[in-house]
Amino acid sequence: MKKVAIPGVSGKKQGLHVCSTCGNYSEHQTHISLCPICDNQIYLRKKNSLQKTWALLITAIIFIIPANVYPITYLLKNNILYPDTIFSGIISLVDSDMIGIAIIVFVASILVPILKIFALIFILLAVQLRWRLSATKQLLIFTFVDWIGRWSILDLFVISIMVAVFDKGNLLSVYPGIAATSFTIVVITTLFAAHSFDTRLIWDAQTLTDTQNNNIQER
Amino acid sequence: MTDDQTQNQATIAKKSLISPIWFLPIVAALLGLWILFQNITHANTVIKIHFENADSIIVDKTRIRYKGVIVGTVKKIELDTSSGVNIIAEVESHAKFMLREKTQFWLVSPKASLTSITGLDTLFSGSYINLHPGDGDDATNFSAVTEQPITIPDNSLLVNLQSENAGSIRVGTPLFYKNIEVGEVVRVRLDKSDQFVNIKAFINKKYSHLIKQDSKFWNISGLRANVSTAGVDFQLDSLTSLIAGGITFNSPHDSKTLIDNKSFTLYDNIDASNAGITVELSLNNITNLPKGAGIIFKGHGIGRITDISYSPEQQKFIATASINPQFSDMMTDGAQFWLEKTALSFAKIENLGNIITGDFIGFSPAAKSTESRSPQSSFIVRQSKAPIAPVLSLLLLADDASGLSVGNPISYQGLQIGQIAELDFSKNGQFIEAIIEIDHQYQYLINSSSQFYLLSGINVKASLKGVEVQSSPLQNLISGGIGLHNKFPVKKTATPVALNDNIRFRLYPSKSMAKLGKNVFSKPMHISLLSEKLPSVSEGSPVYYQKFPIGEVSGFEIDDSGLMRTKLAIQGQYKHLIQKQSVFWNISGFKVNAGLSGVNIEADSLLAIATGGIAVDIAPKGINTKFKNGAYKLFTSYQAATQPTKKITITFNEGYELQVGTKLRLKGLVVGEINELVLNSNNRVEAIIDIDPAFVNKVTRQGTRFWIIRSDISLAGAKNLSTLVSGVYLNVLPGKGKLATSFKGEGSAPVLANKNVGLPIALLTDNGGSTDIGSPLYYRQIQIGEVIDKQLTEDASGVEITLNVYPQYSHLIRDNSIFWPASGFNLNIGITGASLKSTSLASLIKGGINMSTDDSVGLKPAANAFTRFELKKEFNEKWLTWKLAIPKP
């Protein structure tokens, strides 16, 4: 009963879809939305993939501003509150001759989130506007973004540890600031944005431009 | 393709749905907008403050504070083109309203001075710029002030003072009222005329009512020495004022409240202020009391004597004193003044400084009471400090005043409850009168049965147990004192007993005397004793009644008759113990009883050992204790006095180890002892024995037997080993005849003397064999008796062994009983082999006799005493098989 999948041709064209849970492919039927093998929901493509990615990405873009402008930590030393933004922290690291750490923090906390956002925007635009770019290169960028994204959480780890460790009341304490929350939102939303993007759309976009103008752009 | 199309159409249908995920960026956008709005509306204001220098100001670290709240941060420091520096600071929007033209800024950095340490927090947190809001229009350019502006607590009262010179007054100098800090000097400036110093001070709001129209201020700064002919007078107020100076003031009660902004004069001292109130003090003498002497209340000078004059009418000195008005309300009736003199004694050193400065006058206000005291302005100065609370004055009569001095404590169970106030002779000169004062809270301890005694320093009790030294606290040791003794414990809740006005207490020489009671003071009773020899007592030796000292030996004399007369003084309270029938005896020295159990030393008392002593008791009736002339006899012992011992004579063949002092014992009790040993004409030993009177009737009867107990060691056992150590003694077995004085003693225990007197029987045998005195008699291997004698028969044809059968077994001996020696072992050697028979190991060693009774002929009658049996030589096995049932009689 099972159709034999032909390699090199997209599953969509063959009327096949792959279950994201068990990995088996089955024939696509409009009225059936459950995987015949494992009984989980099955889609031809991720539902509203582009929409979701865009929405999450925009949220990330909004929150990345306060994350960088507002203080991420408050250091209470001798009863005086010293607020620190991400950037001022990096600068003070540079000032105290810890350039190596400064670079790591800069990459993880500033560069990576921004790059991630730009990379995702680029891929999304490429899919939607059907720029004829190399699909493999786009995938490479996406894979990189997906991989690097988790490292941005490093900063938050450091903050949470500092808050827990430096708790000596008025003498020495660390409190998280607004930026910490904002930054967390940025990291999470970008992670989810990357996750909600269906990489197969890259190929869909390329093949669709070849064959016909269809509504794929709307997805 | 149609498939694709339908599929695509289905997708189109879904397309119209907008994913709810868009909610997220919308909320984010709103949040962003809100933050942006906040940022714009709460933008920091940038201000510029001009400072002389930028010491300890750090960019981004130095804050601007208002009342401790951080309102801004220094952002930049730039040099001013003219002079100084400009600080660019950001002030948070919520503090913007304080940025007015007259707003002041100054740098707060740690400052430590003698009176205060301020800005201590800045040591850690760094300096900060303080802001004090002012009036005027909004401004952003300021010039910092060099020092903290006068900060006056809200609603506090400002006073202006004028002074000749600033003295030690400076900003921060406290203002005191009755030594309580009520305000602070905030400004010290030279007057425009350059003649005065203007001092501005504030009074805290809650104290502002203290300042009145006629208030007087004076300087109490530091230590002031007043050097005069009377000495040097140091005056010192609070330590703060010593260091930082201080201003104090006084306001008359009736003065009006302060109305206008009046300027007060600041006087140099209280005297200059003329604020003191005047009191008159009358004194008996003014030795060493200089003019200007201080009046001290709890160590605090509250005034001084300004003038001393003599009043011929009152024949007293009248000292006029000026009292610090702060204490004016204490000058009421009931307040006390007294002369504080230097006290230099072993007990204490007080007011040593007075030697240099002269005496001063102590003061204590009237005790608190519900009724209000009326003010008073003339007082009598007492010679010594009087207790503040109403004291209980008591009069004690003492024989002499040794160990007493004024001020000595009265203590009850070690706690001081009062002191001696006065010592004087009584009117008739016979006693010393001590007036003591008992503190108020201890008055309940005194009742009419209370007794007072002299606290002597050390009480040494020496006994054989050791020496016990009891000493009262060192203070008493040195200074003595008086102790209180109550026969019955007094409850704390007890209300003080109303005492008779003219009650007199006696001062007992010691606590033990106090316990004895008043009779201690009755006159002693003199009696004299006559004896042949002077007793080994000395003057002062105690006289005991039942070991309790009741008097002492007061002297010796030789009587006309040649007898020695010993005079005794019996303490008055024991008079009744001396009666016609009293008997006196000498108790000097020890009595040593040495026995196997150890050495027992009996001494009447250590004092008796050391000094000898005389005991007195009531003699039983019928004993003459007096000479015809009425004097008492002095006996050598109580026994000698009451029960003259009876002498008996016992004649022994051999003296053995008898010696004078050898005891005579009855069932172990000593009933007498050998007084003399003589060899009589018959070449026998005669022991003259003193018999204890108590036993005379029992021991000195005809039929009584005496024998010597010596140690006896043999194979059969050791007997009376104790005599090896303690020496031999005489044992006595009382008889029942008439009283006699002469007896015959035996060298060893008589046969019948055995305690377990039972059935004596005699055994006849050819020779004594291994049986010996003490050898057992066995029946079925159970000892039922023992050999008590072994002698040749009268005709020497054999040996007669006397056995004593224990009473409980005497019925076992029947007429047909058979006896055979159980001694040693029995060896039978036959064809079958050798058989060795032995009775018990004890019999193997000690020897013994076996008994059995034939059962074949029935039960024969029980044997009578001294029945003679034959001791079989040969043993027959058959005898052991007899099983005769012998019923108990």
At B743, list the tokens: 């007896």
Residue B32 has φ and ψ, to the nearest 5°, of -60, -45
pLDDT digits 0-9 by tens, B60-115: 778 888 887 888 888 888 888 888 889 899 888 888 888 888 888 888 877 666 55
Q: How confident is the model at residue B400 (pLDDT cuts 50, 70, 90)?
A: confident
Rounded CA gap, A120 and B233, in Å?
A: 94
List of chain B residues whose C-beta atoms are within 8 Å of the C-beta of residue A70: 35
Nearest CA in chain A to B127: A80
Closest CA–CA distance from residue A57 to any residue of chain B (Å): 8
- Least CB-CB distance to A80: which of B18, B27, B63? B63
List of chain A residues whose C-beta atoms are within 8 Å of the C-beta of residue B32: 62-63, 65-66
Q: Does B33 touch chain A (CB under 8 A)?
A: no
Is residue B212 within 8 A of residue B176, CB to CB? The reply is: no
- pLDDT score, position B6: 44
Q: Does A136 touch chain B (CB under 8 A)?
A: no
pLDDT digits 0-9 by tens, B748-766: 766 554 445 677 888 888 8
Q: Does A91 touch chain B (CB under 8 A)?
A: no
**Is A51 close to B126, i.e. CB distance below 8 A?**
no
List of chain B residues whose C-beta atoms are within 8 Å of the C-beta of residue A185: 28
Domains in chain A, number: 2
Judge if A68 and A40 occupy the same domain.
Answer: no
Judge if A160 and A85 occupy the same domain.
Answer: yes
Binning chain A into helix, strand and coil, the percentages to the nearest 5 are: 60, 10, 30
List of chain B residues whose C-beta atoms are within 8 Å of the C-beta of residue A178: 35
The number of beta carbons lying within 10 Å of the beta carbon of residue B384 is 15
- pLDDT score, position B351: 63
Q: Does residue B593 register a pLDDT over 60?
A: no
Nearest CA to B160 out of B186, B180, B195, B192 is that of B186
Residue A55: which H helix or E strand, with range? helix A49-69
**Is A80 close to B126, i.e. CB distance below 8 A?**
yes
- pLDDT score, position B358: 65
Closest CA–CA distance from residue A118 to any residue of chain B (Å): 17
Best interface-test mutation with A: which of B19, B33, B42, B127 has the largest number of A CBs within 10 A? Answer: B19
Average confidence score pLDDT of chain B: 74
Judge if A180 and A97 occupy the same domain.
Answer: yes
* Cα dihedral A144, A146, A150, A153 sign: positive
Cross-strand bridge partners of residue B410? B418, B482
Q: How confident is the model at residue A94 (pLDDT cuts 50, 70, 90)?
A: very high
**Residue type at position B477:** L
Cross-strand bridge partners of residue B853? B817
How confident is the model over B738-754, as a mean pLDDT?
Answer: 70
The more confident residue out of B151 and B821 is B821
- pLDDT score, position B44: 82
- Is the ipTM higher than 0.85? The answer is no
Judge if A30 and A137 occupy the same domain.
Answer: no
- Residues of chain B with pLDDT > 70: what percent? 73
How confident is the model over B664-693, as a mean pLDDT?
Answer: 82
Q: Which of B560-574, B639-653, B778-792 has the lowest mean pLDDT?
A: B639-653
The more confident residue out of B327 and B225 is B327
B290 contacts: CB under 8 Å, gap ≥ 6: B228, B229, B230, B231, B305, B357, B358, B359
Judge if A146 and A209 occupy the same domain.
Answer: yes
Compute the radius of gyration of chain B from its Cα atoms: 57
Is residue B816 within 8 A of residue B749, CB to CB? The reply is: no
- pLDDT score, position A215: 47
pLDDT digits 0-9 by tens, B795-820: 888 888 888 888 888 888 888 888 88
Closest CA–CA distance from residue B112 to any residue of chain A (Å): 20
Domain of residue A85, CATH code: 1.20.140
B439 contacts: CB under 8 Å, gap ≥ 6: B387, B389, B391, B417, B418
**Is B28 close to A215, i.e. CB distance below 8 A?**
no
Residue A31 lies in domain: 1-44
Q: Does residue B7 register a pLDDT over 50?
A: no
How confident is the model over B110-134, as a mean pLDDT?
Answer: 70
- pLDDT score, position B554: 83
Q: Which of B298-307, B410-419, B563-572 has the lowest mean pLDDT?
A: B298-307
Judge if A148 and A61 occupy the same domain.
Answer: yes
Angle between helices A112-128 and A135-149 (to 10 degrees): 150
Predicted TM-score (pTM) of the model is 0.38
List of chain A residues whose C-beta atoms are within 8 Å of the C-beta of residue B12: 215, 218
How confident is the model over B3-12, as a mean pLDDT?
Answer: 45
Judge if A37 and A108 occupy the same domain.
Answer: no
- Least CB-CB distance to B3: which of A15, A78, A185? A15
Nearest CA in chain A to B35: A66
Judge if A192 and A144 occupy the same domain.
Answer: yes
**Is A80 close to B17, i.e. CB distance below 8 A?**
no
Scan residues 152-181 of A and list those with Cβ closer than 8 Å to B: 178
Judge if A13 and A65 occupy the same domain.
Answer: no
pLDDT digits 0-9 by tens, A164-209: 988 877 778 888 888 899 899 998 898 888 888 888 888 877 775 5
Nearest CA in chain B to A66: B32
Judge if A15 and A105 occupy the same domain.
Answer: no
Judge if A70 and A153 occupy the same domain.
Answer: yes
List of chain B residues whose C-beta atoms are within 8 Å of the C-beta of residue A44: 7
Domain of residue A16, CATH code: 2.20.28
Judge if A39 and A119 occupy the same domain.
Answer: no
**Residue type at position A48:** N
Residue A101 has φ and ψ, to the nearest 5°, of -65, -40
pLDDT digits 0-9 by tens, B438-491: 877 787 888 777 888 877 655 555 544 455 565 555 555 555 678 888 777 777
pLDDT digits 0-9 by tens, A52-92: 889 999 999 999 988 888 888 888 887 777 888 889 889 98
Q: Does B16 touch chain A (CB under 8 A)?
A: no
**Domain segments of chain B: what residues?**
41-143, 157-273, 276-386, 389-521, 522-642, 646-752, 754-881
**Is A218 close to B6, i.e. CB distance below 8 A?**
no
- pLDDT score, position B684: 83
**Is A30 close to B24, i.e. CB distance below 8 A?**
no
**Is B24 close to A55, i.e. CB distance below 8 A?**
yes
Q: Which of A115-119, B274-278, B528-532, B829-833 has the lowest mean pLDDT?
A: B829-833
**Is B19 close to A218, i.e. CB distance below 8 A?**
no
Q: Is B258 exposed, middle or buried (0-12, 13-18, 19+ CB in 10 A)?
A: buried
At B785, list the tokens: 């008796």
List of chain B residues whose C-beta atoms are within 8 Å of the C-beta of residue A47: 14
pLDDT digits 0-9 by tens, B19-62: 788 888 898 889 888 888 888 888 888 888 888 888 888 887 78
Rounded CA gap, B880 and B56, in Å?
A: 127
Q: Does residue B423 register a pLDDT over 60?
A: yes
Rounded CA gap, A118 and A109, in Å?
A: 15
